[in-house]
Amino acid sequence: MEIPYEVSARPDTGLYNAKFGMWLFLASEVMLFGGLFSGYIFLRLGADPGYWPHGLLNVPVGTFNTIILVISSMTVVVAWAALKLRQWGKYKLYMAITILLSILFLIIKLTVEWPQKFEHFGVFIKPESAAKYEQYFGNERLAKVGLPPRHEITGHLHEVEALKDGKTEEVKIESWSEVTKLEAEGSKIVGYKVAVDPTYADPNNPVHDHPSFLYPKPTEKIATIEAADVDTIAGPFYPSHSPYLAVYFTITGLHGLHVLGGIVVFSYFWLFGHKLYRKNPEHMANRVEVAGLYWHFVDLLWIMVVFPVFYLF
Amino acid sequence: MDTTIAHSHDEHHHDDHHGHDHHDPGFWRKYVFSTDHKTIGIQYGLSSLTFLFLGFCMMMLMRWQLAFPGKRLPVLGDLLANLFPGQMPGGIMSPDFYNSLGAMHGTIMVFLGIVPLGFAAFGNYVMPLQIGAVDMTFPRLNMASFWSFFAGGMLMMLSFFLPGGAAKSGWTSYSPLASTADQAGLHIPGFLGKIEHIPHLHIFGSIYLDDVFGAGAQVLPFFNGQTLWLLGMILLIISSLLGSVNFIATIVQLRAPGMTWMRLPFFVWAQLITAFLLLLAFPPLEAAGLMQFMDRVFGTSFFLPSGLVVQNVPVHISGGGSPLLWQHLFWFLGHPEVYIMILPGIGIVAEVVANNTRKPLWGYKAMVGGIFVLGFLSFIVWAHHMYLTGMGSAVSAFFQATTIIISIPSVILLASLLISLWGGAIRFTLPMMFATAFMPMFGIGGLTGIPLAFNAIDLYLHDTYYIIGHFHYVVAPGALFSLFAGVYHWYPKATGRMLNVFWGRVHFWGSLVCLNALFFPMLLQGMIGMHRRWYDGGLSYPLTSNQHVMGLPGIEWNLEMSIAAWVLGLFQIPFIINFSWSMTHGEKVGTNPWDATTLDWDTPSPPPHGNFTKPITVYRGPYEYSVPGAEKDFTPQSEPEVPGAAPVPAPAH
């Protein structure tokens, strides 16, 4: 029992089944990421002035990742063309490049970009206590220049002051898990010593008025922050830290899962495609075409939406 | 490429057993992991009927609490107390359990019952037959779709047995409640008093309330009802997406030669539009579900506002989120969802009415146009579920306008079905009885919705029993009746046997009377202001309000309504017995017991693998009944010439 139009196109639509199905699926994907991005818009518009961070992302690395994805979209088309021209060797080569580039994208995301954030620390200061930290905020000057006040001190966490059984102890911190361990043991964190980012080491320098494309590197200057002055969250740049990071990790995470899905499918076609190619090369070419169509969507989503929205704005 | 001929191995017997080894896939590939749309349709059908039954049982339990608030449920109460520890102490329903039943009743009926039955079950079984196809375009995807649905359903049912019970934040799962409910340290004790502490997982900063309370909850951090609800929903949404891609691709690509768009049976049009709604409306809920999952498991604040306080304790979260965001994303699906529930049923009623009046559908073209407009408009009315959120008058005016306008295509559909009865030679077969009852019942449901379109009226009626009465009229004596019509209509096609007519009539009349006795008073209860989701049946209500409307009592009706619900349950028993008994003992029928014109009746009952035993070409429209001068009072779509009748005009498209 054969299903019609699996390989050849139906005359009135000009499409074979899988291509039509993929376009439909992509329509639903537009709605999925559209839902997430409307969430982003909603949250950003609803944020109080000064509470939506900028300059938290590494733009050069992000740009590099963008270029990788664009090239992989091109190589997958060459791979498909090779199949249409019945050049199996060329297909294998270009499909391999596509797969490697996609894996590189994920590696950079998971070993550079995300961990860079997990190591970064941020503390929101209560508005009524902000005056105490004026040396880091420089809010007087910001008010004069017409910019919203700063509310958060960011940098790398060096030490915490832990209170346990009435005794205060200063503990050197290498990673956040040590802090959660301290809390689980019954200590209460009463102070944070943070090696601040350049903005807070020199807050009145106009160069810091606008976000930089380069990722902030903590300075030597240490700020001591009392737990009583902490507004909502004192912690690493986890999704729970702020709505910005929540939506960033969710969207890049979901996008990353889609990249992974693409890698799985491409790898399957690379490893096991020869049998179908021998039986019905046009069918094999169609499969790669449809997967490539999906890949272009994932790519386009990154280039047109994820990258500009998060990295450039 | 025309490959609509089935291999005719099994033309000599009418059941599924293939005698030939090279075709025999074995029990598991044939009945469990099948890619045949008919098998998958039956799998969906049996599963969704079971889920409907389970959701119904939950409702019957809730009605006990409403009729006898705080009273011990005899016999069954002790059984449930053992089955769900802590939920029914001493056989008395706890408020948490009532809320769980309410949330899961809604979820199960909507997502595991009505939609899978109307769309996935009937659509899968009937649609490929009606367009003359051998199967769906993507049979393996179809199978994946069913198993994803099944897994999602199992997760939902499993959640009842987890510590803390099933989700209890309503089928609408509003945040902040749904983002924080069942969280270790946040679980509201209810009647349970002090509860044991379980150290909770610190994943990326969860909600730190253990240290504040000094006691956690007996609820597990990840494997709790509310989180599992989200996981279940994600699986169900994936199932819907795969299914809808399949349906649209099949209808567009696999129509038999001669099956032009305007020769499609209306059922297929209805399935097409429903598939588009599923495809485009579900993903925003998937996005929202993912975000709520992040809130619960990773401690984000997508939907949690700054300054959130739970049980008098400020919650340690970043804040900055928006509960409104959840509502918008949920109802963006939520509204198309209700059209997804009704459209397949309207398609079924159209088929049954044309067949049992022995005349074409009145206004087929208008119905097709209407259903397109309905589908489009359904995407821009969603905030009429949110009138009380403080929206401005401009936004409110927009949604009031679109909501009123959407009643027009709905009326076009219902009116066309009604007018189709005029001048017909009506046969009151069982499907026809359900289809005819559908019309006034859906009418009541739809008309009671009109006042709700207006902000000013909704201000009073929102979250009252009026709403419950309204939507249950549309979905119970409305959609469900149309689905019953479908069951009685296509059962002979799927099994080769008829359902017993006497017991079918018992099922029909009992259900019709009880449904009205149950839901009509709800409309009145709502008008006197009785609130929905009160676990005590509104006991405290008489203390604050005038409980009478037009001299009629309100709260006291709860007992009669509960009795109606339980009697309704009794009347489903004949249906359940009829359904299984008739499979082996029902009256045997041939290919076309209803003398129908559409292609699904042009193949043996049940159809063989590959669907058709001859090449199919379509020569005429779907409802050529009572063609003047013709010998028979019906002409199948695949019939080239009708002896005695005028020649068929060439199709315009």
Neighbours of B306 (CB within 10 A): 17
Report ipTM for this prediction: 0.94
**Cis peptide bond N-terminal to B176, omega within 30:** yes
Contact A240 B318 (CB under 8 A): yes
For residue B19, pLDDT beyond 50: no
**A32 closest CB neighbour out of B283, B306, B317:** B283
CB pairs under 8 A between A and B: 169
Residues of A in Cβ contact (< 8 Å) with B6? 1
Contact B320 A46 (CB under 8 A): yes
Residues of A in Cβ contact (< 8 Å) with B2? 4
Q: Cα–Cα distance between B212 and B183 in angstroms, integer?
A: 14
Of the two residues B444 and A311, the one the predictor is more confident about is B444
Instruction: Give the mean model confidence (pLDDT) for residues B165-169.
Output: 89
How close is the nearest chain A Cα to the Cα of B283, in Å?
A: 4
Which backbone phi and psi does B559 adopt, to 5 degrees?
A: -65, -50
**A24 closest CB neighbour out of B134, B245, B319:** B245
Contact A27 B300 (CB under 8 A): no
**B318 closest CB neighbour out of A8, A46, A243:** A243
What percentage of chain B exceeds 70 in pLDDT?
Answer: 87
Check if A149 contacts B (Cβ < 8 Å). no
Structure confidence at residue B60 as a pLDDT band (50, 70, 90): very high
Contact B244 A24 (CB under 8 A): yes
Contact B252 A20 (CB under 8 A): yes
For residue B162, pLDDT beyond 90: no
Q: Cα–Cα distance between B308 and B77 in angstroms, integer?
A: 37
Cα–chain center distance at B24: 35
The pLDDT tens digits of the residues spanning A120-152 come to 999 999 989 889 999 999 999 999 998 889 999
> For residue A238, what are its two tokens?
């986890």
The pLDDT tens digits of the residues spanning B392-426 come to 999 999 999 999 999 999 999 999 999 999 999 99
Residue B89, judged by CB atoms within 10 A of its CB (0-12, 13-18, 19+), counts as middle
Which segment, A27-31, A152-156, A230-234, A236-240, is predicted with the most confidence on average? Answer: A27-31
Structure confidence at residue B110 as a pLDDT band (50, 70, 90): very high
> For residue B112, what are its two tokens?
């595991």
Q: Cα–Cα distance between B76 and B74 in angstroms, integer?
A: 6
For residue B103, pLDDT beyond 90: yes
Q: Give the residue from B261, B25, B271, B31 showing the smallest Cα distance to B128.
A: B271
Instruction: Give the mean model confidence (pLDDT) for residues B484-507.
Output: 97
Q: Is the pTM of this model over 0.80?
A: yes
Q: Cα–Cα distance between A270 and A93 in angstroms, integer?
A: 9
Element (H, E) at A20: helix A17-46
The pLDDT tens digits of the residues spanning B216-270 come to 346 777 788 899 999 999 999 999 999 999 999 999 999 999 999 999 999 999 9
Residues 25-64, chain A: which have Cβ within 8 Å of B?
25, 27-29, 31-36, 38-39, 42-43, 46-48, 51
**Contact of B241 with B278, CB cutoff 8 Å:** yes
The residues near B84 (Cβ < 8 Å, ≥ 6 apart) are B97, B160, B161, B165
Task: Give the nearest chain A residue to B141 (CA atoms).
Answer: A21
Check if A189 contacts B (Cβ < 8 Å). no
Contact B299 A239 (CB under 8 A): yes
How close is the nearest chain A Cα to the Cα of B317, in Å?
A: 6
| Res B209: pLDDT | 35
**Contact of B651 with B637, CB cutoff 8 Å:** no
| Res B649: pLDDT | 64
**Contact of B244 with A27, CB cutoff 8 Å:** no
For residue B195, pLDDT beyond 50: no
Going along chain B from its start, the domains and CATH numbers come out as 40-306+314-585 (1.20.210.10)
Cα–chain center distance at B113: 5
> For residue A172, what are its two tokens?
């050197």
> For residue B219, what are its two tokens?
């609820």
Residues of B in Cβ contact (< 8 Å) with A20? 137, 249, 252-253
Q: Cα–Cα distance between A42 and A34 in angstroms, integer?
A: 12
Q: Cα–Cα distance between A243 and B463 in angstroms, integer?
A: 30
Contact A3 B3 (CB under 8 A): yes
Tell whether the torsion through CA atoms of B467, B473, B479 and B484 is positive or negative.
positive
Long-range contacts of A130-137 (CB under 8 A, 24+ apart): A132/A229, A133/A223, A133/A225, A133/A229, A135/A203, A136/A196, A136/A200, A136/A201, A136/A203, A136/A223, A137/A200, A137/A203
Q: Cα–Cα distance between B326 and B388 in angstroms, integer?
A: 15
The pLDDT tens digits of the residues spanning B317-362 come to 888 899 999 999 999 999 999 999 999 999 999 999 999 999 999 9
Contact B332 A242 (CB under 8 A): no
**Residue bearing tokens 């980012």:** A197
What residue ranges in A132-251 does DSSP mark as E strands? 152-164, 167-172, 188-196, 222-226, 230-236
Going along chain A from its start, the domains and CATH numbers come out as 17-119+244-312 (1.20.120.80), 121-234 (no CATH)
Task: Give the nearest chain B residue to A35 (CA atoms).
Answer: B284
Check if A204 contacts B (Cβ < 8 Å). no
Compute the radius of gyration of chain A from its Cα atoms: 25
SS3 B500: coil
Q: Cα–Cα distance between A8 and B191 in angstroms, integer?
A: 66
The pLDDT tens digits of the residues spanning B200-215 come to 433 333 333 333 333 3
**B302 closest CB neighbour out of A184, A233, A246:** A246
The residues near A59 (Cβ < 8 Å, ≥ 6 apart) are A213, A214, A311, A312
How far apart, in Å, are the Cα atoms of B60 and each of A21, A199, B102? 42, 63, 11
Contact B298 A240 (CB under 8 A): yes
> For residue B141, what are its two tokens?
């995807």
Q: Cα–Cα distance between A226 and A230 in angstroms, integer?
A: 7
Supply the DSSP string of A236-302, one letter for each residue: ES-TTS-HHHHHHHHHHHHHHHHHHHHHHHHHHHHHHHHHHHHH-HHHHHHHHHHHHHHHHHHHHII
How close is the nearest chain B Cα to the Cα of A3, in Å?
A: 7
Lowest mean pLDDT among A238-247, B57-66, B524-533: B524-533
For residue A165, pLDDT beyond 90: no
Contact A246 B284 (CB under 8 A): no
Contact B300 A3 (CB under 8 A): no
Contact A36 B291 (CB under 8 A): yes
Instruction: Give the mean model confidence (pLDDT) for residues B428-444.
Output: 97
Contact A39 B287 (CB under 8 A): yes
Lowest mean pLDDT among B24-28, B289-293, B450-454, B592-596: B24-28
Entry field: residues in chain A: 313
Supply the DSSP string of B270-289, one letter for each residue: HHHHHHHHHHHHHHHHHHHH
Task: Give the nearest chain A residue to B5 (CA atoms).
Answer: A1
**Contact of B257 with B236, CB cutoff 8 Å:** no
Q: Cα–Cα distance between A203 and A140 in angstroms, integer?
A: 10
Instruction: Give the mean model confidence (pLDDT) for residues B437-462.
Output: 95
Residues 112-131, chain A: which have Cβ within 8 Å of B?
124
| Res B345: pLDDT | 97
SS3 A190: strand
SS3 A123: strand
Residues of B in Cβ contact (< 8 Å) with A15? 253
Q: Cα–Cα distance between A100 and A152 in angstroms, integer?
A: 39
Structure confidence at residue B427 as a pLDDT band (50, 70, 90): very high
Residues of A in Cβ contact (< 8 Å) with B316? 232-233
Q: Cα–Cα distance between A1 and A9 in angstroms, integer?
A: 18
